Amino acid sequence: MDRTIRTIEDVLALLDGFFTSGSEAGRLATGDGQDFWDRFYADRSRSVPFFVAKPDENLAAYLDQGLIAPGRALDLGCGPGRNALYLASLGFQVDAVDLSPAAVAWAKDRADKAGADVRFLHGDAFTLPDSELSGPYDLVVDSGCFHHLPPHRRVSYLALLDRVLAPGGHLALTCFAAGEMGMGSELADADLYRERELQGGLAYTPESLRWIFSDLTEVEVRRMRQEPPESPLFGVTFLWTALFRRGTAAVPA
* Region of poorest pLDDT, from 31-35, 52-56, 98-102: 31-35
Please give the torsion angle defined by the CA atoms of residues 72, 139, 169 and 176, in that order, rounded to the nearest 10 degrees: -170
- The pLDDT score that the predictor gives to residue 137 is 97
Residue-wise pLDDT tens digits, 177-190: 999 889 999 999 99
- The pLDDT score that the predictor gives to residue 32 is 52
Integer CA distances (angstroms), 202 to 49, 59, 153, 205, 209, in order? 18, 22, 12, 10, 12
Residue 236 predicted with pLDDT over 60 = yes
Helices 82-89/57-64 angle, 10° precision: 20
Of 44-48, 72-76, 100-104, give the range with the top mean pLDDT.
72-76
Helices in 56-188 by DSSP H: which ranges? 57-64, 82-89, 101-114, 153-164
Question: Whole-model pTM above 0.85?
Answer: yes
> Mean pLDDT, to the nearest integer, of 76-85?
95
> Mean pLDDT, to the nearest integer, of 206-229?
97
**DSSP-assigned states of every residue in 197-231:** --TTSB-B-HHHHHHHTTTSEEEEEEEPPP--TTS
Integer CA distances (angstroms), 200 to 179, 230, 246, 251, in order? 16, 28, 30, 35
Residue-wise pLDDT tens digits, 154-213: 999 999 999 999 999 999 999 999 998 899 999 999 999 999 988 889 999 999 999 999
* Region of poorest pLDDT, from 41-55, 105-119, 120-134: 41-55
For residue 249, name the pLDDT band (cuts at 50, 70, 90): low
Helices 82-89/101-114 angle, 10° precision: 30
Averaged confidence pLDDT in the chain: 90
For residue 113, name the pLDDT band (cuts at 50, 70, 90): very high
Residue 26 predicted with pLDDT over 50 = no
Helix (H, G, I), strand (E, B) or coil at 189: helix
Domains in the chain: ranges and CATH: 8-245 (3.40.50.150)
